Structure 1
């Protein structure tokens, strides 16, 4: 039986992602300072980056790929498009991810945000012509970000050690599971397999990567030019961003748990 894009991607991620974590754990761990050196040991624990040697190797690999492939393509893309076009592309690719956000909000007990995601998907997929436009935001339903890593966080799963994955970039032992789970929740995964759907999947993934890279051309250039240690800077920014996303979700929506679920008092 011919393997579809969905099954190839899912099988590849299911094997590759845990494999990368295990390979890093076995091949390149940072040596912790002795516990008697309290200051250094506390700093090591706070960084929570025991795979730093391996992470830095992947960081360098990604920099090479970015320098010679992604950045030039993104610069060319910016040269031949306008900001308005790039905004519409971002709206379109974001709309494809709206069902996944809705399911994650439902799983984490955030009913209001789940409802917002559902309304956004219905409005933008119809009135917004497949998500090219964002009428939902104008009607009072702004985009709200979440993912499976944040859902796991709401269940009390700790962030775990920092990971820097080849191609995918910054992540963590908890957030790494976004990759296979988010794909399962896309509309393409639920649709019957076909050649046209396969081609669409490749095209959508490619344009999303290019459009996202174009959005961060200046910030990334600035960090690479000014930071004493770009790897550490990106690590810090990633963690700050994830903490901010989780805090915003906690502040915005009221949890609703089923009667049979004995959750901790909040």
Structure 2
């Protein structure tokens, strides 16, 4: 019961948010951007996310980066990447990619047993390629269109398809499935802070380069998702790129 209640609440919240977004889209009119018909609503959510990022996430991530030694941060990143490889293995199998699924299996087993629970990325040293996949990509691989672009509170850039995929991803996340609530919440918080810390430099470049950060983030997200679904995903280890909260929670190149 302790495990299922939070997931049900979160799923209900996400479904309600998506319903509100779609209702808002009914009033966007015929002049709306075809890939972003919900733009007025999305920009409001984007501004909220950016404010949250400036006030909370970025300061905490900066402190984490300044205080935590680089080898420790690398170990934290490797640990969560190893966990994500389990779900990638499932999605590679669902996408009828047996070779990629096998690679993911061997990455998980190698890093878990020889990499001390995934803290050390032994699989990469052994040249076992990484194939990062999520359920949104699985839906896209089987022909489901992305639908309108959506910016989710806290999670950032998404689409109607990827929002549905995210709900399934939450069920497939081993950390989220933990029945120990304090441990689960601590790990999720650490993952969030570590991910945000890895994007500090990208966030600075975005601030300097983009005249309209909202439009830039949207275009990067949609282009990257299309590239991943069309089979152009990098197989070498890549940063978790899901842009910062205002620019993304998902995780957007993984700037969810």
1:150 matched to 2:147: no
State the TM-score, normalizing by the size of structure 1. Answer: 0.82
State the TM-score, normalizing by the size of structure 2. Answer: 0.85
**Deviation (angstroms), 1:135:** 0.7
Aligned to 1:89: 76
1:168 matched to 2:155: yes
**Deviation (angstroms), 1:84:** 2.7
Larger Rg: 1
Give the structure with the higher percent helix. 1
Query: Counterpart of 2:157 in 1: which secondary structure?
Result: strand
The runs of at least 4 aligned residues of structure 1 exceeding 6 Å deviation read none
Aligned to 2:23: 26
Aligned length: 234
- Structure 1 96/249 Cα, relative in aligned 2: closer, same or farther at 3 Å? same
- C-alpha root-mean-square deviation of aligned residues, in Å? 2.0
Query: Counterpart of 2:150 in 1: which secondary structure?
Result: strand
- Structure 1 229/178 Cα, relative in aligned 2: closer, same or farther at 3 Å? same
Unaligned runs of 5+ in 1: 34-40, 253-266
For residues 1-266 of structure 1, what are the structure 2 equivalents within 5 Å? 3-4=1-2, 6-27=3-24, 29-33=27-31, 44-45=33-34, 48-188=35-175, 193=179, 197-248=180-231
- Structure 1 70/250 Cα, relative in aligned 2: closer, same or farther at 3 Å? closer
**Deviation (angstroms), 1:178:** 3.1
Is the Cα contact below 8 Å between 1:86 and 1:211 reproduced in 2?
Answer: yes
Unaligned runs of 5+ in 2: 236-256
| In 2: Cα distance, 1:21 partner to 1:173 partner | 8
| In 2: Cα distance, 1:209 partner to 1:229 partner | 25
